[in-house]
Structure 1
Amino acid sequence: MRKLALSAVLGLLAGPALATGLDIEIAGEANGTVHVDLFEDVAPLHVERLTTLAEEGAYDGVWFHRVIDGFMAQTGDVEFAKEGGDMRMAGRGGSQYDDLPAEFSDIPYTRGVVGMARSQNPDSANSQFFIMFTEYPSLNGAYTVVGEVTSGMDVIDQIKRGEGRNGAVMGAPDRMVSVTVTE
């Protein structure tokens, strides 16, 4: 039997989350605000995690540490990927909360879709997420979809790209200045 974090169980008992989206203010090579509609009905545990971390201010100042042209921009490492953090460790951290069980769906990974980053273990998503630059069918059904960008894809398109096969961003990466929960 899978063990769920108490906050996840309480969230399920309370019913659907009140939040419907996130406004993400981005600064760096890209400057502007991105709005993400969240899919509470598709991935309630993951949406609850994102909104909890946003409400706590955990995402404020977090870098886009992995950006691969023609694929996606990844952020959300609230442990290592922010001012004062160790950029060499960016992408390896998470939040103080337990990892989440996968909530896979049949929603395809297309331009603007937001998914949860994880290790090879399907039940290892925590705080990191990525935004798709383009369609990427090999991710379909293998990563939890949490939402989609409904405005600001032009800002996402301007995010500083990383280098090499893994897309590690060198120098000063773009960052999420603030992440606000919308209703």
Structure 2
Amino acid sequence: MRMFRLASLALAFALSWAVGSAPALAASPQDTLVLTLKNGDVTIALRPDLAPKHVEQIKALVREGAYDNVAFHRVIEGFMAQTGDVQYGDMEDGYKAAAVGTGGSELPDLPAEFSQEHFVRGTVGMARSQNPDSANSQFFIMFAPAPPLDGEYTIVGKVEKGLDLIDSIKRGDPSDNGSVSEPDRIIKARIAGDTK
């Protein structure tokens, strides 16, 4: 029985390695982010084991309602969809098309929490400026693997359910670095384990 279990675990690990991702670990409800989009819910397993400070900041902003109605302002086909500019990206209160993507939140910028994890399809990473310690509220979700990002951007989670909804987000203008006119938005963000 023990040998069978070890063989099964080894096979599962080998298969997950072959497709370029680590074995799936179910997140606790307190570490599960749910984004309601126009066509349904996207469930993201947050990774405090990789980036505890970034995950705590995301959770704090979710609980403030800061991500509600925030645009997916930069969406590049075959690469990623970026959102989370709570300063300039709220499409119901203060949206600034010319500034979206340059803002953050009232919380402080965070020091990088780089890891050995890989940027694969569904990975959620923190957006930042050229300064590695400048991530704040913006994050992006990968459409496809991007090895050049490995070890250069903080990984905070991975989509567990609803990746097809991410695939359907309106794309941006390739000639304008993926800038989206009349973008899709996060209608509501919540932590699954919260009771309210």
Per the normalisation by structure 1, the TM-score is 0.87
Q: Does 1:152 align with 2:162?
A: yes
Q: Aligned equivalents of 1:160 and 1:18: distance in 2? A: 29
Letter in 1 for 2:30: A
- Counterparts of residues 12-161 of structure 1 (less than 5 Å): 19-27=30-38, 31-83=39-91, 84-161=94-171
Letter in 1 for 2:87: E
Per the normalisation by structure 2, the TM-score is 0.81
Letter in 1 for 2:107: Y
Q: Aligned equivalents of 1:145 and 1:34: distance in 2? A: 17
CA contact (8 A) 2:86 2:103 kept: yes
Deviation above 6 Å: which 4+ runs of structure 1?
A: none
1:32 CA drift (Å)? 1.3
Letter in 2 for 1:178: K
Q: Aligned equivalents of 1:88 and 1:155: distance in 2? A: 26
Q: Aligned equivalents of 2:51 and 2:30: distance in 1? A: 13
Deviations 1:101-120 (A, max 9, x none): 00000100000000000000
Letter in 2 for 1:20: D
Deviations 1:96-153 (A, max 9, x none): 0110000000100000000000000000000000000000000000000000000000
Q: Aligned equivalents of 1:22 and 1:164: distance in 2? A: 29
SS at match of 1:88: coil
1:164 CA drift (Å)? 2.3
Which is helix-richer, 1 or 2?
A: 2
Gaps of 5+ in 2: 1-27
